[in-house]
Amino acid sequence: MPELLRTHSPIVLVGSDALATRLVEDLGRLEDIATGRTTRGDGLPPGWVTVVVEDDEGPFVAHLRRAGARILVGSGRDKAVLKAAGVGAAAVLVLLYEEDAANLHAALSGRELNGSVRLVIRMYDEKLAARVEALFRPNCSVLSSSLIAAPSFVDAALGDGQQLIEIGGRTLNAGPPDTVAGAPLVVLARPDRSEPEGTELLPDRDVPDAELVLGAPALRIVPPARRRLRMNWPGTVTGWASGRLRWALAGLCALVVVGTIVLRRSGLGMSWLDAFYNMVSTLTTGAPDGVEGSGTGVTLFVAGSMLAGVVLIALITAFAIDDLLGSRLSGALGPPVGSISGHVVVCGLGTIGVRMVEQLRASGVPVVGIDTSPDAGLARRLGVPIVRGDASDEHTLYAARAHRARSVVAATDDDTANVEVGLAVWALDQDVRIVLRLFDQDLSDRITGALPQAVSLSVSAAAAPVFLAAMLGREVKAAIGHGRRVLLVAEVPVGAGSPADGRPLRALEVSGRVRVFAQERSRGRTRVLTWSPSPDAELAAGDTVLLVATRSGLAEVLLRTGAGPSPGPAPASPPAPARSEPGVNGAPAGRRFGPGSGRLAGRWRSDRVAVPTRWSQLSVVRAILGQQEARDHNRRAGDAVEAPDEDPRGSR
């Protein structure tokens, strides 16, 4: 397929986890814009995609080879390895290391080899990601796979099927038809028993039996939940005193007041102050003198008060010590679980688990975490109860009150461990909703078939389409999870001379794959956004279409709306962009651009990035990184590591 190879600029991926495997597989499904052929069935064009791996025996290397990628063993931080991988002539460099610092180091090395290569970097730390994106601007996208996938997991855990999306200056809701006001913009899914998962995605317009739609959110008044009566005392005591301690103190105070009144009226001639003093003495040391002669009723009351005082003072002492120690330990282990119910249990506080806890807490949903080795800093930051132990153990699940939970999420990075958790929860309570993080599609189908209340999701499957769109220079606004499949919401501009330029809107739509719900056009100096446009509306260069698509559907739309390849013969070996003479729109002269090219993505009009000199800003940053590389490379801290997806071999 030489004509196919000539239209594809080289792509280099650094890292060999599940996300890299998904990306290579998706690249193999792209349609070539010049020939109209796809690589599906024949694999990737030889030499088009190179994957740099540090271990040739890694769990995903065999998957990458079967997908047609060229494998190069070495470190992506090594400039010589990147040069051998072809970064100097590459259009896109994708960095998927687990450590943020390692990805930044590799990005600096890649830009030194090729000043115009498009960078797609995975990072966990949001502050660092924003600064890195500004450093490599404009031809750079920094993404977090856990941040992309977390909303799908949260939606599956809550089970309400709703997700709010900001696009086109409006807030839209993806959910059941009764959660959308008026007619929906797009029907996202309908039941269909002939489909493998029982649903058809993006069916024909105006189907009567839709189960998931996109439209304006309906305003619903939710009745407030009944709250338990609790003591709210002023002062800082409420910061550490539990309800039981406050009720015990209230009982002691009530007994003192009642006893003061009884002694005042007992006929012993006590003033109010003497009666109060003698009642306190009764509770702490003993009965006052002369009480035996005041009558049987008073004597019995004083005796009962002495016994009650001993019990109450003992309880208050125990509760106070427990609460004081608990307030000190809560910073290390989180607040106590207590008698919580209707909560979400998150098993495995890795990157995706932490993202889930943060988003659930922001939504006001109570959460309990389970982890084998939670650290103190994480517990303080999350502010949720954390149970230490194996999530597949029945006692650990009982400690987290999983049998009273709304749902349990198994979010570790091991398929086998997550299945064990799901089965343990099913044995504990068959009515609890189970969300499993699984990579293996076959295992997912079998488990969800055996456990009706289980839902299976994959981090890499949710994140791969967003990374692929970034590789092509586009931004995905949201990912809508439906079962194990993902629908993508995106704003896609129409490039001049692209296959879609001058065609009707229906040319982009494919039943089951792509649905357009809005079109933005230029009218003079203003931009006009039309919701639910006519399928016969003509597309023009500069228009922007708002659409929902499957992973493969979005890839095809990106190719059809991008600028076509520049004319001219393709050289035998493409020149490095940093050293070539600029051609049309700043692109290297004589190059033909394919799916991975920056010009196809419409980004070559941006300012060129010069190759840094020895004392440039990039080199200074790289020198600082070199001093920290030794201690940062092997550290797997929760705030600095973007965890890989599941290991199909099931190793723990």
Reported as a single tens digit per residue, the pLDDT across 136-148 is 988 899 999 998 8
Q: Is the pLDDT of residue 262 over 50?
A: yes
Q: In this structure, are 9 and 133 located in the same domain?
A: yes
Q: Is the pLDDT of residue 214 over 70?
A: yes
Q: Is the pLDDT of residue 307 over 90?
A: no
Q: Is the pLDDT of residue 161 over 80?
A: no
Could you tell me which residues are beta bridge partners of residue 530?
519
pLDDT (mean) for 296-313: 83
Residue 463 in any domain: the answer is: no
* Distances from the Cα of 517 to the Cα of 146, 181, 271, 529, angstroms: 28, 16, 83, 11
Q: Is the pLDDT of residue 637 over 60?
A: no
Angle ∠(438,120,13) on CA atoms, nearest 5: 70
Three-class DSSP labels, 202-226: CCCCCCCCCCEEEEEECCCCCCCCC
pLDDT at site 114: 94
Q: Is the pLDDT of residue 533 over 70?
A: yes
Last residue of a domain, one of 304, 333, 362: 333
Residue 262 in any domain: the answer is: yes
Q: In this structure, are 2 and 135 located in the same domain?
A: yes
Question: Using omega within 30 degrees of 0 as the cis cutoff, is the peptide bond preceding 234 cis?
Answer: no
**DSSP H or E segment with residue 189:** strand 180-191
Q: In this structure, are 325 and 350 located in the same domain?
A: no
Query: What is the side-by-side strand order in the sheet with 163-167?
Result: 163-167, 170-175, 212-217, 180-191, 199-201
Residue 561 in any domain: the answer is: no
Residue 378 in any domain: the answer is: yes
Q: Is the pLDDT of residue 511 over 80?
A: yes
Q: Is the pLDDT of residue 599 over 60?
A: no
Q: State the first-to-last Cα distance of the chain, in angstroms, to the nearest integer.
A: 42
Residue 395's pLDDT band (cuts 50, 70, 90): very high
Q: In this structure, are 443 and 349 located in the same domain?
A: yes
Angle ∠(433,436,439) on CA atoms, nearest 5: 160
Spatial neighbors of 311 by CB under 8 A, at least 6 apart, are: none
Lowest mean pLDDT among 5-14, 91-100, 509-518, 540-549: 5-14
Q: Is the pLDDT of residue 404 over 90?
A: yes
pLDDT at site 333: 56
**How many C-beta neighbours within 10 Å does residue 337 have?**
16
- Mean pLDDT value across the chain: 77
Q: In this structure, are 240 and 325 located in the same domain?
A: yes
Residue 100's pLDDT band (cuts 50, 70, 90): very high
Lowest mean pLDDT among 304-308, 319-323, 409-413, 445-449: 319-323
- Using an 8 Å Cβ cutoff, are 384 and 335 in contact? yes
Q: In this structure, are 280 and 391 located in the same domain?
A: no
For residue 262, the domain's CATH number is 1.10.287
Compute φ and ψ for 459, nearest 5 degrees: -65, -45
Report which of 324, 334, 286 is spatially closest to residue 307, judged by C-alpha positions.
286
Q: In this structure, are 67 and 122 located in the same domain?
A: yes
Most confidently predicted of 272-281, 361-370, 401-410, 546-555: 401-410
Pick 588 or 190 by higher pLDDT: 190
Residue 294 in any domain: the answer is: yes
Domain that holds residue 374: 344-457
For residue 393, the domain's CATH number is 3.40.50.720
Pick 26 or 403 by higher pLDDT: 403
pLDDT (mean) for 572-595: 31
Q: Is the pLDDT of residue 48 over 70?
A: yes
Count of domains for the chain: 3
Last residue of a domain, one of 440, 457, 474: 457
Residue 515 in any domain: the answer is: no
- Measure the CA–CA gap between 336 and 327, rounded to whole angstroms: 9
pLDDT at site 440: 85
Lowest mean pLDDT among 12-21, 26-35, 473-482, 637-646: 637-646
Q: Is the pLDDT of residue 314 over 50?
A: yes
pLDDT (mean) for 298-318: 84
Radius of gyration in angstroms for the set of CA atoms belonging to the chain, rounded to a whole number = 32
Q: In this structure, are 240 and 260 located in the same domain?
A: yes
3-state secondary structure of 288: coil
The H helix count followed by the E strand count for the chain is: 18, 22
Q: Which amino acid is present at 428? A: L
pLDDT at site 572: 35
pLDDT (mean) for 428-438: 93
Q: In this structure, are 314 and 360 located in the same domain?
A: no
Pick 328 or 268 by higher pLDDT: 268
- Measure the CA–CA gap between 340 and 331, rounded to whole angstroms: 19
Compute φ and ψ for 47, nearest 5 degrees: 80, 0
* Distances from the Cα of 617 to the Cα of 90, 112, 286, angstroms: 23, 12, 80
Q: In this structure, are 309 and 403 located in the same domain?
A: no
Residue 298's pLDDT band (cuts 50, 70, 90): confident
Residue 240's pLDDT band (cuts 50, 70, 90): low
pLDDT at site 8: 62
Q: In this structure, are 321 and 361 located in the same domain?
A: no
Q: In this structure, are 320 and 356 located in the same domain?
A: no
3-state secondary structure of 523: strand
Last residue of a domain, one of 406, 435, 457: 457
Residue 97 in any domain: the answer is: yes
Please give the model's pTM, rounded to 2 decimal places: 0.66
Residue 229 in any domain: the answer is: no
Pick 570 or 557 by higher pLDDT: 557
